[in-house]
Homo-oligomer: A and B are copies of this chain.
Amino acid sequence: MPLGHEVAHLSHIELLTPVLDKSVAFFVDYLGMTVVGGDDNKVYVRAFDDYEHHTLTLVAHSSSGIGRTNLRASSPDALARRVKALEGAGRSSGWQDGDPGYGPTFVFQDPDGHELGLYWESERYNPTKDLRPALKNQAQRYPGRGVSVRRLDHVNYLGADVEANRDFLRDQLGALVTEQIVLDDGSIAGTWTTFTNKGYDAVYTRDRTGTTGRLHHIAFATDTREDILRAADIALEQGVFIESGPHKHAIQQTFFLYVYEPGGNRIELCNAGARLVLAPDWETINWTEAERAKGQAWGMKTIESFHTHGTPPVGNT
């Protein structure tokens, strides 16, 4: 049996950018997110319905890429259990103060070297009056500006060894492996894992360059597929680079759009419709090379850059 619900959900992520101001403008003007703090070197932004303090920390850096990914434990006990296990596995960097709004955070690395944090304490976001929603079951006023993403959806890491990272998420953190790409030689080219009823929260796909610690993309959820079509139109008007989509993935059946933020990081907008993974004993779906050769759900071939572009660029950290 799987470990079960030790991690509640993916929470806040640090995204590195060599052009902080431009990146902030992208997240605010294009995605419709809200700045809730920061300084000259980092800016906290949030999606309107994330219930915690912030969704991303945009960090000024020499290159693009991903910093720490933070996960919220499902209870104080679950946090204690995971810390003990991670310390036993020798991956711990120890406790740190959390970001503003977040409590003490236990920091560790996945086998590929991506930094993760696990915490329990979290202040509920308390909007200022001008950001207060009309309906009290929503974290913040719907912005009605740009894409207006609802919440962080998932992170997709590049990894030199997908299997090792998958096993780590599954065995140390209790992730459920919902779908995979299994190559003809039996190796795993991609793995989709979840802590929730969403089809996936954290993904590893193989880094063809063999580099470690890189990011493929982070994704935000919109309410409808129409929001994603509209996002493509707004991207076109605002000069945001569209890499691929809108289209539908065969894997997980996600309706998607991929764009690059000005720092170079790939950003996905995604919508899963009403699809959820409810089976506690969900059997992993394995996609073969032959099946992947059919392209995306409706037959579109995957664009080449999707297999090559990661951040930071290779040799640039």
Whether the Cβ atoms of B51 and A278 lie closer than 8 Å is: yes
Q: Which chain A residues (136-162) contact chain B, with CB distance < 8 Å?
A: 136-138, 141-142, 144-146, 150-151, 153
* Complex partner residue of A229 from B141, B251, B255, CB under 8 angstroms: B255
Chain B residues in 8 Å Cβ range of A1: 75-77
Kindly supply a per-residue 1/0 record for chain A positions 258-295, scoring 1 wherever the CB is within 8 Å of any chain B CB and 0 otherwise: 00000000000001111110111011010100010000
Min CB distance A244 to B, Å, is 8
- Contact across chains for B49 and A298 when beta carbons are under 8 A apart: no
Between-chain CB contacts (< 8 Å), 26 pairs: A1-B75, A8-B278, A8-B280, A49-B275, A74-B280, A135-B297, A136-B287, A137-B252, A137-B285, A142-B233, A142-B234, A144-B145, A144-B234, A144-B238, A196-B278, A197-B198, A224-B224, A224-B273, A225-B226, A226-B227, A232-B248, A235-B298, A245-B298, A246-B247, A246-B298, A272-B274
Which 4 A-B pairs give the minimum distances between C-beta atoms?
A223-B273, A221-B274, A226-B226, A9-B278
Q: A124-B283, A144-B238, A223-B273 are in contact. List 14 more A-B contacts (CB 8 A).
A: A8-B278, A134-B236, A137-B179, A142-B237, A144-B145, A150-B274, A151-B274, A196-B276, A196-B278, A226-B226, A229-B248, A232-B297, A246-B298, A300-B300
